[in-house]
Amino acid sequence: MGFMNLQSLSSVEGLVPWALLLAIPLFATWWWVDYRWRIADGEPPLVPYRIPWLGHGLSFMKDINGFTEWVRTIHPSSPAATVQIAGQHLYLIFDSKLASQIYRRSQTFIFDPFFLQTSGILGASKNDMEILEMGAQVVSKKTNAKDDGRRVIHDLHKMTPQYLSGDSLDKLTTMFMDILNDDIDKKFPADQESSFEWQTLDLCEYIKQVWSHASITALFGTHIYEIWPDIDTWLWEFDKHFQSLFTQMPRFVIPKAYALLDRGQELSEKWEADALQAEKDGKIEGDPDWDPYWGLRFVRLRNELLRRDGLETKLRAGNHVVFIWGLNANAIPIVMQVMIQAVLSPTLLKTLVTEVSSCVKDPTLGNLDIRKVTTSPRFKSVYLEALRWATASPSPRVVREDVQLGPYLLKKGNMAIVHSRTLQTDEEAWLVEGKPESHPSKFWAERFLDDGGDDKSEALRVEENAEAETNYAADVITHPTPRPTRLSKNKAVEPVSGPKSKDMQKRMLALRPFGGGTTLCPGRHFATNEIMGGLAALMLKLEIEVDEKELAKRGVPEPDLSKQGGLFPDRGLMVRMRRRER
C-alpha cells in the first residue's frame, strides 16, 4: 500500500513540469484577454481585439477607411474610440468639435514625428535626421541632441503658404491654365474638321494625362519632361504603391514600391543637378517668377532652403518625389469625380456650362476670370460635394503629454487620428430632414447651395488655423512648456468661403478634405483653381457625353475607398468628346 502511494506521488510529481508548461500559456492567454479590455480611466471606449500586443494593427494598415467604418459600428454614439495597435493606443476621433480642438492645440497634438518618419522612409541619413530633429516637435528629446538653431521643418512649413498664395498663386494658376488649354487644343485643334467629330475615350485617363502634364510643368518647369519623359506613367504607378512604403516593410517584401521610389529619386537628382548647372551657365538670370529648369520660383527657393540647411542629395530628391506625388494624387481624382457627376447628369452639365460661360473675360480669347469661376454658386456646390464625397484624409497627431480632450483623457505617446471621411459621411451632420437625396452616402450636387447666413462662415476654420500656427511657431522656436493658446490676428482666405446659414456652417466644420490646424493643406488654393478653372476650360471647349453602351457594361463609377486623400473612381468612364462649335 505504501509502495503504491509512493508510486502515485512519484507519478504526480512527474506531471508537475508538464502541468506548468500547460499553465503558462493558459495564464498568459488569460492575462492578455484581461489586458485587452483595460484602458486608463477616462480614455475613449476600447474596441475589443484578439491578438495580443498587435491588436487591430493589420486591419488598420490594410484598409484604414473600412476599418474606421467598422469601428464606428462598435461605438456608434461615441465621439471617439480607442484601438490597440502594436502595443499602443490609437484614438479615432469622430466628432468635429473634438477634431477642432486637436487642430488648435498644436503644441500638444503634434505632427512632426510623421515628417521624421517619412524622411526615414525616403532614405534620410543619420546626419539628415539630426538636422531635421533640431527644433522638431517630439514627445521626448534625445539625450545630448544637437541643436545649432536650424529649423528645417518649421522653415518649410512657414515658406509654403507664402508662395502658394497671392501673386505667386496667380502666376502658377496662369501657367497651369495656359498649358491645359494648349493640351486640349492639341488633342482637338480648332482648325481641323476632325476635332468636331465625336471621339470615344476614357474620361478618367484623359483627365489624368492633361492635368498631370499641366500641373507638373507649371510647378516644376519644362526641362523635367526632357529628362523624364514618362513621368506621368511613373507617377500613377507610384501612386498605386506609395501607401505600402509606410508599412516600413523590408525591400524584399515590397520591391515594386522601392523600385519606383528609387527611380523617382534618381531622376529628381538629375533634375536638380541640371537646374543648378543652368544657373552656373547663366541660363537662369536674376530672380524670375518661373523658369524652364526649376519651374515656379517657390520650387527654386524651397530647394535652396534644403541645400542651405545641409540636407543630403538623396533626401532632397525624395522630398521632391513626394512633392510631385502630392501635387497630383489628391487634386486630380476630384477633377474626375466632378466631371463624372456632371456627365452622368446632362441637365447638371448644361447648367454648369451656362454658369461658367459668364466667367469668360474675353470671348475672342476664351480666357477665364478664375475668381468668378471659383465663386460660381452651382459649380462651387458640385466641387465641394466632390470634396466631401470623394476624399478620405486621415489627419494623424502624436499626443505629446497626457491631456484632457472634451470628456476623454488621452495618454502621452499615443496617436490620435481625425478621419475626415467619418466626419464627411456622418448622417447627423449631413442628412437634411425631408430630403432623402441628401443622405451622405449619395452625391447631391445641391448640398452646398445656401444663400442664407452672414459673411463670416469661415471664421471658425480660419481662427482654428491661426491659433494652431501661433502655438506651433512659439513651441518650435523656443520649446517652452505648453502655454495657454493665443489667437493670431493674421487672416487667411479659404477656398470654401462665402455666405452660409448656421446649419451650413456646422456642416462646413465637418468638411475636412484639406485637414486642419498646422497641416491645413497649403496647396488648397491652387487645388481649387486647377480643379474648377481647368474644368471650366474643358467644359467650354468640348462637348462631352456618356457612352451609354459602355456604361451599361461597366456600371457607374464610385469612389475607390482602398486609397487615402482624393479618391479615384473605382473604374473608368467611357465618353464621347468633340470640340464645341463656336
Check residue 376 and give left, alpha or beta (phi > 0: left; psi -120 to 50: alpha): beta
Please, what's the b/e burial string for 177-193 (b: 16 or more CB within 10 A of its CB; e: otherwise)? bebbbebbeebbeeeee
- Beta strand spans in 319-454 (E): 360-362, 367-368, 391-392, 394-399, 403-405, 408-410, 415-419
CA distance 122 to 326: 15
**Closest to 122 (Cα-Cα) out of 312, 398, 396, 303:** 312
Residue 530 Cα to chain centre, angstroms: 16
**Residue 502: exposed, middle, or buried by beta-carbon count in 10 A (0-12, 13-18, 19+)?**
exposed
Q: Find out whether 204 is annotated in a ligand binding site.
A: no
What residue has cell string 459621411? 425
DSSP for 58-106 reads HHHHH-HHHHHHHHHHHSTT-SEEEEEETTEEEEEE--HHHHHHHHH-T
Give CA–CA dist 98/399, Å, rounded.
Answer: 14
Cell numbers linked to 363? 470671348
d(CA 61, CA 84): 13
Q: Which 8-state DSSP code applies to residue 519?
A: G
Strands (E), 163-282: 199-202
Residue 399 bridge partners (DSSP): 109
The residue type found at 102 is I
- What's the grid cell of residue 440? 451622405
Residues making up the annotated binding site are: 521
Residues making up the annotated binding site for heme are: 521
